[in-house]
Amino acid sequence: MTHVHGAASTNAAAAGVALPGETSEKTRLRVFDEHLAEKLIKARPAIIVLAIISVVAGLILTFAAGRLLAQIGGFAALKDIDLIALRAKRFGMIWDPQVLFVISGGLSLAGYLCGLGELMRFIASCRAIAAVKAGEIPNVVGLAALTHVGLLVGALVLPPLGIVLGIVFKVAEPTDLKELGGQMLYISFLVVAIVLGAILWDAMAEMAGRHKPLSSVR
């Protein structure tokens, strides 16, 4: 009989029935916290996988950035970057070793930031789950600040990636992801507009130079 009574109490708690001495508001908050803990428990494996992927990607891109840096002659060569010559290559500038170094270096930094951010989110999730089990009010677990910054850095150095992820985040359910998606889209389109604007300006200047009328002979 004791076992049946315990099972009934457990089922009642899971169904949102008030425990002895518990108000309806406390019951609602407790059930909400328990539901949040269940979601965090299910999300923890994915958080760990994302952290590992981010760090591994950061390491691979760091290796690639190191090879590109050696190819262009070290950090000293970065001071002598000829922006005019790069712009003259137009869309071919994307494959320039100097530009590739900036992209790979920026993405490696973004990978490390996202990896650390996901690790912090995992720790925060564990603390929130422990708080719920202890009958305490858990802290809200959302997107870590480092992950936020890392994704913005990725959108800055590789706009196509920022546009794709920005669209995905914009249609996501959490509000923080929607806000992040909007920021990534803004940064990505701004970078694309600047690059395309510079290429278009050079193309127009080149065409104007070709059609410049000959000066009169004196």
DSSP-assigned letters across all residues of 23-37: -HHHHHHHHHHHHHH
The helix/strand/coil state of 205 is helix
Mind listing the pLDDT tens digit of every residue in the chain (218 residues)?
344 344 333 344 444 455 555 556 665 566 667 787 788 888 889 999 999 999 999 999 999 999 988 887 777 766 766 666 666 666 667 777 788 888 999 999 999 999 999 999 999 999 888 888 887 777 778 889 999 999 999 999 999 999 999 999 988 877 788 899 999 999 999 999 988 887 787 777 767 766 555 454 44
Q: What are phi and psi of 179, to 5 degrees?
A: -65, -45
Q: What gap in Å lies between CA 153 and CA 110, rounded to an integer?
A: 6
| List of residues 6+ apart from 37 with CB closer than 8 A | 128, 129, 132, 133, 138
| List of residues 6+ apart from 133 with CB closer than 8 A | 37
Asked if residues 37 and 129 have their Cβ atoms less than 8 Å apart, the reply is yes
| List of residues 6+ apart from 89 with CB closer than 8 A | 96
Q: What gap in Å lies between CA 110 and CA 168, rounded to an integer?
A: 18
The helix/strand/coil state of 96 is coil
Asked if residues 33 and 137 have their Cβ atoms less than 8 Å apart, the reply is yes
| List of residues 6+ apart from 62 with CB closer than 8 A | 104, 105, 108
Helix axes 159-170, 145-157, angle to 10 degrees: 130
The pair of three-digit structure tokens given for residue 157, joined into one six-digit string = 């150095």
Cβ neighbours around 169 below 10 Å, total: 21
pLDDT digits (tens, 9 = 90+) for 82-137: 666 666 666 667 777 788 888 999 999 999 999 999 999 999 999 888 888 887 77
